[in-house]
Structure 1
Amino acid sequence: MTAPSRFAAALRITLISAAITAVPGLAHADWRKAETRHFVVYSNGFERDLRDYAIELERIDQLLRTWFALPEQQDERRLPVYIVRNRTDLGIVAPELPERIAGFYSANFRDIRAVAVRAEGDETLRHEYGHHFMFRNFPGAYPAWFREGFAEFFSTATVSPAGRAAVGKTPFNSVRVLNNLRWLPMEAVLGGPPNLQDGRETAAFYAQSWLLTHWTLTDPDRRGRMEKYLADTARGVAIDTALRTHFDMDAEQLGRTLRAYLDAGPRYAELELGAASPALTTSALPDSANEVLLLDINARDGGPANQGPAVLDRARQAAERHPGDLLAQSMVARAELRWGDPAKAEQAVQPLLDADPTNVDLLLLMADARITAGDKLTDPEARERLYRQARGFLARAYEADPLEHRVYQSIAYSRRFTPDYPTANDVELWRRAVAIAPEVASNRAVTAEAMLNHGLVDEAEQVIQPIANDPHGRETPARIQRILTRIAEARAGAATSAPAGPAD
């Protein structure tokens, strides 16, 4: 993927600012939400379309669980999914997205959600949900090709209203790339990630990753062999050794095998899921959603700094038009935290919290306001005083919802300047945050670092490995490499200091 020019980026920000200013004029369709077992889907289209979309997502989840014989988990948090009308709306949510992108998935410190353009981003949404599903259910040390191949394999899955499912249909773009671009050497694919600055290399990597995943997942014998291959390479076995051990071929032979597989026409699998419709409820959002919901999603993610003044000004005006409205006041509080004044964020939230003292989102916003204000201070005592106040709100949030991962990460984050950080309790806080929301990659690096400070080398490695080969990871490769180096040095030190065995 090539980076856009500075002129194009500046032009896009200008256009987005204009679009944000025009949000009130878009208030012709009412926002509603549909709630199922695994999703909360928001849309400002027809209610019938919203229901169909939510049911389809729930069916895709059912398909994935059936495919992997995965039992349901209790108390699993639902994924918010926002269906926007067009790319202009998507640009308000995420101004820095390339124009050709029709949707995205984000799991970060602030929020977990997916966003897609209606009727354009379906495959993108299924691809990104594949990543979410893998992280939640199978976190592990997977190579980049398998991460992307897995998501792309399920991106074309379909389920009919009668419950007939198809898995492994061929993505048009992947086949076009495979038939028209030069293939990468398979050893480069197996050892990825690709050079994302080279569009052709990236396209070939993704297409070959899909083909390799398709070749393995659609055959029980190859699937079993691949599971052993992945387990070996995760333990540090060389790629060529693992390939010969489990597939009796080298990388060049694998490439020829995949070309023959492509020429034969990869087939897809069909399953019967049953015709029973998933349970679903729908409800209307307040009128303010027409004006503020897209801005709220933007503020949750903390968009680019150069759009801050436009978003903040728009947020303040919208909040003035909707006094006492939960959505509008929460939105302006997030915008104030990102680009404005933490004290004004508290002013927006406090009346709402007084009326609803166990609202977890409001308690988290108040804690964020105190932490953000503390981060701006240089006086350690004054800063710690604000952090302690934040932990008071977080304790109340824990009482209201002990399964909210943001509570644990925020408590641990607020303690990072204390002299005894990280204590064993801090490690447990990070451990709990990762356990509840394993898809939030940004928590894994800091958790691994805290564990290493307590000598928990094996556990630190388990925590960091799932993001070590992520081609889209937000953590810098340098930080991950420092953690992996610390793990290797700790192991080497332990081996050196181990007592010698008894003499023969």
Structure 2
Amino acid sequence: MGLGMVYRWFICKFLWALLLSVAFLGGCTSTQKLVNSKWYEIETKHFRIVTNGNSEKVERLAVDLERLRVVAERHIGFIPDQQKLTVYALSDTLSFKGVSGREDVRMVVGLFRNTSHGSFALVNLAGNKYFPGNPARQILFHEYVHFLTYGRSSSNLPYWYSEGMAEVFSTISFREDEYELGMIPISRAITLDYSRELPLKTLLEAKNGSLNNKDREALYANGWMLAHWLIFDRQRAKALGRYLNSYNKGLAEARPLWEELGMTFEELESQYRSLPKSKFGYFRMPMPKVKEAEFNSAVTRLPKKNAILEIANFMAITGQEVAQLKSFIDYAEKQEIRSYELNSAMAVAELQAGNFPKAKGWLDSIPVEFHGERWFLEVQARIGLAEELSKFENINLNAVVDIRDKYVKLVNSQDDVPIYWYELAVVMQVLGYPREDYLEILEQAYLRAPRNVRIAWWYAHELYVSRDKEYFAQVASPLMVQLSNLERESRLTSMRREIEQIKGDRLSAKPVKEGLGEKLEKYQSMTGKKAVALALDFRGSFAVGLSEENVDQQVANDNALGLCEKYRKRYKVFGKCRLYAEGDQVVGTGAIEIRL
């Protein structure tokens, strides 16, 4: 399709649709829409979809998600998840606004939330419905490709290619035993036709969060264009593969993309500028052979009470405004939908907002006969742990032991909930368990929620301290893509640069604050009798004591431990100070002894 011929009449239809949606939004609230809907649950091998839309259409969407997963397995390397992905397929903009808590619902029609309870996708089935190609479906497919590549993978893709590749897969379609790949999303065609060109240098060097909104939209479109041009040509695809391999390794001597293509930068730039006037075809290929059972699906009617409880709990764990959740629950109760589990959702929402007294008040409102329910134990344990952690040095260890026992019960009753494992690991660290013991528990949390930043952040630090280079890369690479905090990004970069001994420019950004990587690099430059002591806690907070002596190793060890303890108290680090290294020998990882 030539990009110069963009479907301008769709702009008129889209504006008309906006006017209609404004009129519609005035007649009903999100809460009313959600509570008064009929709900369905569609399950396949790897997906669980909850919807208040057309169940037959959503079932077809579920089967196509399974097909996309099979095709992606052929083209994209990823490690399968232990859990099904939960998708909330909302029938319209009102429903999407109510569940997502977003105000910009006319601009956003789909999103992912990677929580400590697992990963969730939200999609507005009516989003941009006057555009061709089903934009809501495209958004879901785009984000699912990210979901696969941002999981447990050591791949570190350039930003432009990560987004461009996801856009290429977003328009995939299926017919009988074939699939079609490569059609342009209409929104990207509009961007390429109307917007100013994003310079090639800007495209290739962009990082997540480095562009304004307009340029980010241009990156999606130009990323699709360049990725399409590279992927669907055999020789260019080989050159792209070599480039991505060296980029992923962070090699200082890695050749840039244009050299891998046998071009100068100016030649690639000239080709790039001509691409919007080119024709981009799509490609039809046979589906990979899999058992028919891979695409089996089951549809059941979800009782309204169950749907309301699930939505309320989702709103709570994703930190939506307490007042919004309270309004939702109040209306549900007016419609005779009552459960003390809704009180526990309010307690979680108040806890997320940092309101301990209000959270405890909601918990206390639940009658004693429900205190053995899993949902009550969860909130009771979470509130108790948060309250004790707020005391730092004055923690009541007997209370923490009681909290530990609650988490053990929770893990034993439902072992697929990541936060149960994560907070059990936190409790074990606070109680002074051996490091290898709580790391086994933390790994279980990570395996169940590899995209949750809080869990992956702690686990990446622990793997770094263990000098587990391969597993660290597997956790840190997708985590880096998700970080929007410059200080955290620089800290993770410093660790990766040190453990992989990377000297190239790509990982040499000046850190905002001195991270663990800089600390260990400084230690390695010391001479004589030297030692380093380290305390690391579940937040990724750390304290480091470095000591260098001319004569006595024991004096160096004691000084390092003393400095570490001083900084641990100053920065309120929960982990205990341990001797980490003597000379060049790492001794405090809880693993085999290795050399720095």
| Interval containing the TM-score (normalised by the shorter chain) | 0.7 to 0.9
| Partner Cα separation in structure 1 for residue 252 and residue 264 of structure 2 | 12
The one-letter code of the counterpart of 1:395 is V
Alignment correspondent of 2:47: 39
Alignment correspondent of 1:149: 164
Alignment correspondent of 1:447: 459
| Partner Cα separation in structure 2 for residue 97 and residue 252 of structure 1 | 43
Q: How big is the shift at 1:166? A: 1.1
Q: 8 Å contact 1:329–1:349 — kept in the other structure? A: no
Which residue among 427, 441, 445 is the counterpart of 1:429?
441
Which residue among 68, 83, 88 is the counterpart of 2:94?
88
Q: Does 1:59 align with 2:67?
A: yes
| Partner Cα separation in structure 1 for residue 333 and residue 348 of structure 2 | 12
| Partner Cα separation in structure 1 for residue 455 and residue 72 of structure 2 | 26
| Partner Cα separation in structure 2 for residue 231 and residue 393 of structure 1 | 46
Which residue among 165, 178, 181 is the counterpart of 1:167?
181
CA RMSD in angstroms, aligned pairs only = 3.7
Q: How big is the shift at 1:380? A: 2.6
Q: Does 1:182 align with 2:196?
A: yes
Describe how 1:399-414 pairs up with structure 2 within 5 A: 399-414=412-427
Describe how 1:245-284 pairs up with structure 2 within 5 A: 245-273=259-287, 276=292, 278-284=295-301
Alignment correspondent of 1:334: 348
Describe how 1:66-465 pairs up with structure 2 within 5 A: 66-68=74-76, 76-99=82-105, 100-120=107-127, 121-136=136-151, 138-160=153-175, 162-193=176-207, 198-238=212-252, 241-273=255-287, 276=292, 278-289=295-306, 291-303=308-320, 307-312=321-326, 314-315=328-329, 318=332, 321-324=336-339, 328=342, 331-339=345-353, 340-342=358-360, 344-345=362-363, 348=366, 351=369, 354=372, 364-377=378-391, 380-382=394-396, 384-415=397-428, 417=430, 423-456=435-468, 459-465=471-477
Cα deviation code 1:40-67 (max 9, x no counterpart) = 0011123323322222222222222244
| Partner Cα separation in structure 1 for residue 236 and residue 371 of structure 2 | 55
The one-letter code of the counterpart of 1:485 is S
Unaligned runs of 5+ in 2: 1-24, 128-135, 499-517, 528-582, 585-596
Q: How big is the shift at 1:481? A: 0.4
Q: 8 Å contact 2:117–2:418 — kept in the other structure? A: no
Alignment correspondent of 2:489: 480
Cα deviation code 1:273-328 (max 9, x no counterpart) = 3795721122222222565544332212012xxx32342354367469444576x4
Q: 8 Å contact 2:377–2:410 — kept in the other structure? A: yes
Q: 8 Å contact 2:181–2:284 — kept in the other structure? A: yes
With 449-458 and 177-186 compared, the bigger mean Cα shift is at 449-458
TM-score, normalization by structure 1: 0.80
Q: 8 Å contact 2:109–2:123 — kept in the other structure? A: yes
> Which fold has the larger relative contact order, with Cα–Cα distance below 8 Å and residues 6 or more apart in sequence?
1
Cα deviation code 1:163-199 (max 9, x no counterpart) = 4311121122223322333323323222211656623
What SS class does the counterpart of residue 207 from structure 2 fall into?
coil
Q: How big is the shift at 1:268? A: 1.7
The one-letter code of the counterpart of 1:208 is N
The one-letter code of the counterpart of 2:319 is G
| Partner Cα separation in structure 2 for residue 247 and residue 86 of structure 1 | 46
Distance 1:245 1:256, change over 3 A: closer
Q: 8 Å contact 1:405–1:432 — kept in the other structure? A: yes
| Partner Cα separation in structure 2 for residue 250 and residue 114 of structure 1 | 42
Q: How big is the shift at 1:113? A: 0.3
Q: How big is the shift at 1:81? A: 0.4
| Partner Cα separation in structure 1 for residue 286 and residue 340 of structure 2 | 45
What SS class does the counterpart of residue 112 from structure 2 fall into?
strand
Distance 1:465 1:25, change over 3 A: closer
What SS class does the counterpart of residue 341 from structure 1 fall into?
helix
Q: How big is the shift at 1:456? A: 4.7
The one-letter code of the counterpart of 1:79 is L
The one-letter code of the counterpart of 1:437 is A
The one-letter code of the counterpart of 1:226 is L
What SS class does the counterpart of residue 91 from structure 1 fall into?
helix
**Bigger proportion of residues as helix:** 1
Q: 8 Å contact 1:168–1:269 — kept in the other structure? A: yes
With 36-45 and 196-205 compared, the bigger mean Cα shift is at 196-205
| Partner Cα separation in structure 1 for residue 264 and residue 300 of structure 2 | 56
Q: How big is the shift at 1:271? A: 2.4
Q: 8 Å contact 1:442–1:474 — kept in the other structure? A: no
Q: 8 Å contact 1:319–1:329 — kept in the other structure? A: no
Q: 8 Å contact 1:103–1:125 — kept in the other structure? A: yes
Distance 1:94 1:69, change over 3 A: closer
| Partner Cα separation in structure 2 for residue 301 and residue 350 of structure 1 | 27
Distance 1:218 1:465, change over 3 A: same
| Partner Cα separation in structure 2 for residue 338 and residue 137 of structure 1 | 27
Q: How big is the shift at 1:258? A: 3.2
Aligned length: 468
Percent sequence identity over aligned pairs = 19
Unaligned runs of 5+ in 1: 1-15, 500-504
Q: 8 Å contact 2:87–2:121 — kept in the other structure? A: yes
Q: 8 Å contact 1:159–1:165 — kept in the other structure? A: yes
What SS class does the counterpart of residue 354 from structure 1 fall into?
coil
Alignment correspondent of 1:502: none
What SS class does the counterpart of residue 304 from structure 2 fall into?
coil
Alignment correspondent of 1:13: none
What SS class does the counterpart of residue 334 from structure 1 fall into?
helix
| Partner Cα separation in structure 2 for residue 129 and residue 185 of structure 1 | 28
Distance 1:140 1:112, change over 3 A: same
Q: 8 Å contact 2:451–2:479 — kept in the other structure? A: no
